[in-house]
Amino acid sequence: MKIFHLSAECYPIAKVGGLGDVVGALPKYLNQAGHQASVVIPYYDRKFTRENEFDIVFEASSRLGDRRYDWQVLKEKTDKLGFELFLIKVPGLLDRENVYSYPDETEQFLFFQIAFLDWINWSQQMPDIIHCHDHHSGLVPFLLQHSALYRRIHTIPTVFTIHNGQYHGAFGYDKLHYLPEVDPNFVGLLDWRGGINPLASAVKTVWKYTTVSPSYLHELTIQSNGLEYLFWLERAKGLGIINGIDTQVWDPATDPMLSTNYTVKKVNAGKLANKKALCDRFNLSVDKPLFTFIGRLVGEKGADLLPGIIRRILDEHPDEINFLILGSGEADVEMDLTGLKDQFAGKVNVFIGYDEGLAHQIYAGADFLLMPSRVEPCGLNQLYALRYGTVPIVRSTGGLKDTVIDFGNDDGYGITFNNNVLDEACHAVWRGIQLYQNTEHLQLLRKRMMALDFSWDKSAKEYINLYESLNTKHI
């Protein structure tokens, strides 16, 4: 099968969150399984695009409302990522450095989708599947079905993956004229609560939508920023598939970003060596359990609980624990954490920002990874932690619920809690301190975690089964 993945992000070109990781890995594993998967993203003026060579494979001009833009499709020459990578470049619109947060973001992603469809249509391609990711490509299923411009390709099956249902990309009807001519009888399929909602439109019109974990499929009917009823209505069209991780990139035995590589046979010595490197860098004690957090410092991730957790635990166990935080986000959370770094020097350290190499080192050197998330569609951090033998401490929601089993169960390996409240989070950390003191049990859990299979091989098979079921209907 020939499959196009359409996304705003793709690691390593442009990554803001888990979306980039997924789109940068799944197509590679689909290709290894014998299919032809390609990725199409906007052009970004970044290190990857400046340092690699591209061929211009298509050029054209398309309208966005009253304006006409010239655009190009660029293809990375060597397929070095394990799949064909195409970039849509539009001078003055899709040629910038950042992925999001421009004032004309709506126009950017609208034109990205229009240019993609025009390219497929005008170049006489007929892929077997178009797989759209998040709201940035959410209008493609609607336009395929209800714009006369794309009648030739309207039977191509579409899949839409929701990586985070809190973001819809909604905009007003004053921008309806940006879209190609559509059948006015079906404009209601764009609508949700009086505006154009790309995420809602995709759920209504796509052949099949997926979420990045089975639990999140259900949770969208309870918490999806106003689309709960829609997800309940369309629940039969949904399928939950757990994200995988790229085990070639995330492998403690070969990871070039670690100070010391290790296998499951030498996990304890390997983690200790990496922990020592971390503690030396951040002025922490290698003899105490190291609790860490990696990610966006926002309410969705439960990051606002971190200052309270740190204060209470260090008040109750002042000489028994270290904390290391890597992330950025809400200014008040950053300020609170930075203050704790000064207040508890030698016990707490904070790196505001993001550093990919440091993240890898933390997964390898930490004893525990905190994820007190309010919303976690799948979560990749806990999967990286498991791969590196680090015990995840998670709130049981979304993909965290599906991937982390509490070590109190016979087959468990992590630490879980149910409610996003300070008392339960602190109790979970306290259980981690107790576990750390039971060296034999901790070492058993490390080996159990590293033996788990959360690779893309398994998840890719589920996507292939989905594609084949839709392609059979298409034929």
| pLDDT on residue 246 | 87
The tens digit of pLDDT for each residue in 343-353 reads 999 999 999 99
The tens digit of pLDDT for each residue in 435-449 reads 999 999 999 999 999
The pLDDT of residue 198 is above 90: yes
Mean pLDDT of 336-360: 95
Closest residue by Cα to residue 449 from 290, 245, 276: 245
| pLDDT on residue 135 | 98
Strands 67-76 vs 84-89: parallel, antiparallel or unpaired: antiparallel
> Which residues are paired to 67 by β-bridges?
64
Strand order in the sheet with 368-371: 348-352, 322-329, 290-297, 368-371, 391-395, 415-417
Mean pLDDT of 120-142: 98
Alpha carbon distance 289, 275 (integer Å): 10
Contacts 24+ apart (CB under 8 A), 90-95: 90/42, 90/43, 90/115, 93/69, 94/42, 94/43, 95/43, 95/45
Alpha carbon distance 320, 1 (integer Å): 55
Mean pLDDT of 191-220: 97
The tens digit of pLDDT for each residue in 380-414 reads 999 999 999 999 999 999 999 999 999 999 999 99
The pLDDT of residue 120 is above 80: yes
| pLDDT on residue 473 | 62
Q: Write out the two tokens for 465.
A: 């089964």
Alpha carbon distance 137, 134 (integer Å): 6
| pLDDT on residue 333 | 97
The tens digit of pLDDT for each residue in 48-61 reads 999 999 999 999 99
Percent of the chain with pLDDT over 70: 99
The pLDDT of residue 431 is above 90: yes
The pLDDT of residue 475 is above 60: no
The tens digit of pLDDT for each residue in 450-461 reads 999 999 998 999
Buried b (16+ CB within 10 A) or exposed e, 225-240: eebeebbeebeeebbb
Closest residue by Cα to residue 36 from 79, 75, 77, 3: 3
